[in-house]
Each structure stands twice: as C-alpha cells, then as structure tokens.
C-alpha cells in the first residue's frame, strides 16, 4: 500500500465518519519496502494541493520518516525538484507491505498483508 | 433479509470472482470507450475512486490523476496494485473507507448489477455519491460514472431482451487448455438493468443524472449528488 493511500482512506464504520479521530488511520507495526516508480513531477505538483498535510505529517511520523515541514509546500516551493522528488519517494515509492491501520475513534484494526489493506468489516460492525 | 442478501452475494458473486480472478483478468485488458473518455477528460491532479476496480484495467486510462481502486476480491485487487501511480485496496461497496465529499470523481463499472436487491443497489450508488464533492449553485459537484449490464442486448451472445427475467445466473467457464475435460463452470449472479432503471436508482440514491446512455450491452449514467439549495 502506497503511503499516499493513507491520506484518502478512513474507517469503514459508518459512525466513525463524523468523528475527527477517525482520520488519519494510525499505522502499527508497519513494514516498509521501497519500490521504484516513474517520477512524474507534474503529477506530484498537481496532487500536493489535494493532500491533507496534517494527516500526512502524522502518517510520516508513524512510519519513522524525518519530520515534514510544518506547512504544505505551495507556489515556488512546488517548482523545486528536490522537494517533489522527496514527496514522490514518500507518497508513491514507499510501500507498506505488512502491518495494521487502526481507527483512532473505534479502535478497529485493518490488516495490511503483502502490500494490500483490507477494509472489509466483520459482521458485528456492519 | 439484509444478511441473507449478503450471504447470497458472498456465495454467488464474491467467491466466484476470487476463483476466476486470473482468467477473468486475462480477458479484460482495456477500458470501454466511454469510461476511457470520462477518465481522459479529468483535470490533472484530480483524485478519485474506482469502486469494484477488478484487475484495474480502467486505472491505466490516465496517469495524471490519482485513483484508489477497491474490490471485494483480494485476488483482483492484488492484480490492480500494479497500475501506478494508482492504488488498490479491498473494500465493500456498501461501506467504503473514505470520507464524505472528498473526491473529484468516481467510477463504478459493471458492479452494481451484482447486488441482489433493489435497496442494496440504490444503497451502493448512495455510498459512492457520498464520497464525491457536493456541488453548489456556483460550482458543479463531483461526477460519478456508473455502468450496469443491460437487459436489452438482443444482438449479444446472451441474446436477452425486454420482457426477459432480470435476475439471472451467468456461467463463467474457466478453461483448462491442456485438459479440456477439467474445465470448470462458475455461476455469477446478475441483475440485468432495463431501460431507465439505472437513472431511477440514481434518483433514489439522492443523486442527479447529468447524462446517460447505452454502450455495448450496458446502460451507463453520469451522476452527481443533488444540489441542496
């Protein structure tokens, strides 16, 4: 699972959607793997404005990455190739292969196995 | 009732796709024209969903947008993982793990016809509409492209037509090329949509039809959440 994915998912439990604590889901016991993916500077530049930066900071921290800047890169900063490459590496090339995503509201844990996160709920939570 | 429908779909849809994933995927390699066009027309940097993404064949249509594909079948979602820069997860169409009103677009191609009651089909569409941006008087909302198999397909191999039974079991033959006698047949449940029915489901789900049509044995609709002013 690419790191960017965590920025666009939340708990599948209906009642959690209204709780701010359900985003972002929290990584536990994450095992990472780097996978080379074509660098498209335009893609990163266009996607960054849509990223929930606070959420990404939490995620990056949980995965053991050095702290991201306090505020989201904008304008000129998005012309900087280094910045875009770093974000490309974090968002697209970093894969979470094993581990769990945990909801900060209900505590439900979603397993990540061989790179794929499973959001199916057990019947008692449906 | 609800859990009965769910168990039925588990047996007659989900398990079948798990079993035929490899063979199914090998027969599906490019998006249909209207799906391709819809994805091509998106603004670069748009963020969206492909609900019931199967092997991810639609993800390849545009690499300048970011799409999270989801499927009930882990075997299929795993194949879809290979479509970069996109992403794939395992999720249920009725309980999508996404926030409200977040996405610029969504597609749901050949999926809602696998839900076995009218309520669940409308719920599935409502759940997808929930995830896309709401429009206002000033700004259009996120668009959702939905495809479903048509009852009206006289010229197809199946030959169904208006007036035929709409809830059907459709065989999938998984051939073993080296040992034809070992070929296995699986049956998937389908609800065949009749003309106007998909539009009706969209309205019932709280959506608004932007445009709709028929392409190669399928009804399709582009919908958006209804503007509440």
Shortest distance between the Cα of B26 and any Cα of chain A, in A, equals: 21
Our CA angle for A21, A104, B132, nearest 5°, is 55
Chain B residues close to A11, C-beta within 8 Å: 97
CA-CA distance, B146 to B218, in Å (whole number)? 10
Q: What is the pLDDT of residue B23?
A: 81
Domain A3-125 classified CATH 3.40.1350.10?
Answer: no
CA-CA distance, B77 to B8, in Å (whole number)? 21
Of the partner residues B44, B87, B91, the one whose CB lies closest to the CB of residue A42: B44
Which pairing describes strands A109-113 and A116-117: parallel, antiparallel, or unpaired?
A: antiparallel
Give the H or E element holding residue B81: none
For chain A, say whether B88 makes contact (Cβ under 8 Å).
yes
pTM: 0.94
Contact between B186 and B19 (Cβ < 8 Å) = yes
Closest Cα partner for B66 from A20, A87, A24? A87
Q: What is the pLDDT of residue B21?
A: 83
For B118-130, the pLDDT digits (tens) are: 999 999 999 999 9
> What are the beta bridge partners of residue B143?
B105
Q: Which residues contact B93 (CB under 8 A, 6 or more apart)?
A: B51, B52, B70, B72, B108, B111, B112, B115, B124, B127, B128
Q: pLDDT digit of tens for each residue in chain B (229 aa)?
A: 678 999 999 999 999 888 888 888 877 778 889 999 999 999 999 999 999 999 999 999 999 999 999 999 999 999 999 999 999 999 999 999 999 999 999 999 999 999 999 999 999 999 999 999 999 988 999 999 999 999 999 999 999 999 999 999 998 888 877 887 788 889 999 999 999 999 999 999 999 999 999 998 999 999 999 987 6
- Tell me the ipTM for this assembly: 0.97
CA-CA distance, B60 to B111, in Å (whole number)? 19
pLDDT > 70: percent of chain A: 100
> What are the beta bridge partners of residue B172?
B186
Chain B residues close to A2, C-beta within 8 Å: 85, 87
Structural domains in chain B, CATH included, are 2-151+192-225 (3.40.50.150)
Q: Where are the domains of chain A?
A: 3-125
For chain A, say whether B133 makes contact (Cβ under 8 Å).
no
CA-CA distance, B197 to B182, in Å (whole number)? 39
Of the partner residues A8, A42, A116, the one whose CB lies closest to the CB of residue B74: A116
Subunit contact A9:B89, Cβ cutoff 8 A? yes
Subunit contact B44:A43, Cβ cutoff 8 A? yes
Length of chain A equals: 126
CA-CA distance, B9 to B130, in Å (whole number)? 23
Of the partner residues B72, B85, B99, the one whose CB lies closest to the CB of residue A10: B99
């Amino acid at each position: 699972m690419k790191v960017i994915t965590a920025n666009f998912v939340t708990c599948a439990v209906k009642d959690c959607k209204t709780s701010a604590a359900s985003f972002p889901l929290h990584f536990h016991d994450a095992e990472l793997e780097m996978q080379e993916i074509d660098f498209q500077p335009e893609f990163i530049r266009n996607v960054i404005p849509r990223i929930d930066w606070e959420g990404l900071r939490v995620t990056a921290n949980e995965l053991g990455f050095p702290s991201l800047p306090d505020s989201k890169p904008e304008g000129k900063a998005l012309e900087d190739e280094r910045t875009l490459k770093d974000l490309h590496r974090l968002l697209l090339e970093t894969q979470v292969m094993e581990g769990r995503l945990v909801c900060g509201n209900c505590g439900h844990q979603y397993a990540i196995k061989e790179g794929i996160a499973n959001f199916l709920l057990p019947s008692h939570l449906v | 009732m609800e859990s009965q429908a769910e168990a039925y779909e588990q047996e007659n849809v989900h398990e079948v796709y798990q079993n035929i994933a490899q063979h199914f995927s090998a027969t599906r390699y490019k998006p249909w024209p209207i799906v391709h066009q819809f994805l091509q027309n998106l603004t670069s940097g748009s963020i969206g969903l492909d609900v019931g993404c199967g092997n991810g064949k639609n993800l390849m249509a545009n690499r300048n947008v970011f799409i999270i594909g989801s499927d009930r079948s882990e075997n299929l979602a795993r194949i879809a993982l290979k479509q970069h820069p996109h992403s794939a997860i395992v999720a249920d169409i009725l309980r999508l793990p996404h926030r409200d009103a977040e996405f610029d677009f969504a597609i749901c191609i050949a999926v809602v016809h696998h839900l076995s009651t009218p309520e669940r089909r409308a719920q599935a569409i409502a759940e997808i509409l929930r995830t896309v941006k709401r429009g206002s008087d000033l700004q259009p909302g996120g668009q959702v492209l939905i495809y479903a198999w048509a009852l009206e397909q006289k010229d197809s191999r199946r030959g169904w037509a208006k007036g035929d039974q709409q809830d059907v079991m459709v065989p999938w033959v998984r051939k073993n090329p080296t040992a034809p006698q070992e070929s296995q047949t699986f049956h998937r449940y389908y609800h065949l949509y009749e003309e106007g029915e998909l539009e009706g489901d969209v309205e019932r789900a709280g959506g608004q039809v932007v445009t709709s049509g028929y392409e190669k044995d399928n009804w399709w609709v582009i919908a958006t959440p209804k503007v509440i002013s």
